[in-house]
Amino acid sequence: MTAISILDLCPVIQGSTPEVSLHNSRDLAQHAERWGFNRYWLAEHHNMPGIASAATAVVIGFIAGATSTIRVGSGGVMLPNHAPLVIAEQFGTLASLYPGRIDLGLGRAPGADGLTTIALRRDPHSGADEFPNDVEELRGYFQAVRPGQKVRAVPGAGLQVPIWLLGSSLFSAHLAARLGLPYAFASHFAPTDLMAALAIYRNEFKPSRDLAKPYVMVAVNVLAAETDAEARHYFTSQQQAFTNLLRGRAGQLLAPPIATMDGYWTPEERQRTEALLSFAVVGSPTTVQKGLAERIRSTGADEIITTGHVFDHQVRLHSYEIISQVMNMAATV
């Protein structure tokens, strides 16, 4: 059975506040736990008015404290923004408070523009280059303390917090394979290199103390509603968000759905946005079931992590309820 999870960026909608978004995320996580989702991950982004999950470790603690069984983690922490010791201490603390439930997904991108990266006190030119070394340093902090070790993570040492590598290109596929770590691909916004990245990861994978064989998670935008037309209508909020991304206005407040995208985007913007969202599954329960089954078949994914920006919280809840139902039905066939 393919596991199903949720990636949440805590979207802030027009006319609302981050406080409301964070409480909506807590509510969704509580529902997701009851519906049988495997994980609930939060993503680090900075200087984006429409995303409330910048302080990712804090939000993970908020979600984990409001749930009891679902795994909670980062999808991901952008490691170039941080000293590895700080992340080890943060996630060591989370793992101490919520043992056996915390995941640490790591990304190589800054999750921010250049000026914001500098404001985070990191070098925007060297951070990504140091990523492999930073990952190894971070892994070391979660191991048992070695004789003579001068610097340790407290809490963190000996806790073996599960580490994932995230990617939207081929770089992290090579690295995850070499280190023997689970791998999650960001096909929800970068589907072009998906199949090549998965092939690299599986072909080059070397077993490690963390993982005996490759484990792949694939991210998919999913929006489910009672009918295809209704789902496509709600999906225009996501289409507007991706069009704004192309216009250099990433992370704006999430807009309400509109009757048609005609007149909102240019033909070129439509082509580029639809390419970015080409891996999405949008529609009725039957459409979503078929779409997810095809994504699982084509990628061989061990796990699907679903995401999507939905303007209305109740619509978002209903979408995830449908997703859980179709996945549960597929598991019993």
Question: What's the pLDDT score for residue 333?
Answer: 47
| Mean of all residue pLDDT scores within the chain | 95
Question: What's the pLDDT score for residue 127?
Answer: 59
Tell whether the model's pLDDT for residue 250 goes beyond 90.
no
Q: Radius of gyration over alpha carbons of the chain, in Å?
A: 19
Q: State the burial class of residue 1 (Cβ atoms within 10 Å of its Cβ: 0-12, 13-18, 19+).
A: exposed
Percent of the chain with pLDDT strictly greater than 70: 96
Pinpoint the alpha helices (H) of the chain: 18-35, 56-65, 84-97, 114-119, 131-141, 171-179, 194-204, 228-246, 267-276, 285-299, 313-332
Mean of pLDDT values over 212-236: 98
Structure tokens at 323: 């997703």
Q: What are the distances in angstroms from CA 101 to CA 60, 64, 96, 97, 159?
A: 11, 8, 10, 9, 12
Cα gap 253→92, rounded to integer Å: 33
Q: Cα–Cα–Cα angle for 59, 61, 63, nearest 5°? A: 70
The amino acid at 71: R
Tell whether the model's pLDDT for residue 116 goes beyond 90.
no
- CATH C-level class of 1-161: alpha beta
Q: What are the distances in angstroms from CA 247 to CA 86, 154, 239, 241, 254?
A: 34, 44, 12, 10, 15
Cα gap 88→136, rounded to integer Å: 12
Residue with tokens 């991210």: 219
* Residues forming CATH 3.20.20.30 domain(s) in the chain: 1-161
Direct distance between the N- and C-terminal alpha carbons of the chain, in angstroms, rounded to an integer: 11
Cα gap 251→238, rounded to integer Å: 11
Mean of pLDDT values over 171-190: 97
Question: What's the pLDDT score for residue 11?
Answer: 97
Backbone angles phi, psi at 53, to 5 degrees: -105, 30
DSSP for 96-156 reads HHSTT-EEEEEESS-SS-HHHHHHTT--TTTTTTTHHHHHHHHHHHTSPPPTT-----TTT
For the stretch 23-61, pLDDT in tens is: 999 999 999 999 999 999 999 999 999 999 999 999 999
For the stretch 178-187, pLDDT in tens is: 999 999 999 9
Question: What's the pLDDT score for residue 1?
Answer: 83
Tell whether the model's pLDDT for residue 279 goes beyond 60.
yes
Cα gap 135→156, rounded to integer Å: 15
Q: State the burial class of residue 263 (Cβ atoms within 10 Å of its Cβ: 0-12, 13-18, 19+).
A: exposed
- pTM for the structure as a whole: 0.95
Q: Which helix (H) or strand (E) holds 306?
A: strand 303-307
Question: What's the pLDDT score for residue 126?
Answer: 62
More confident residue, 222 or 127: 222
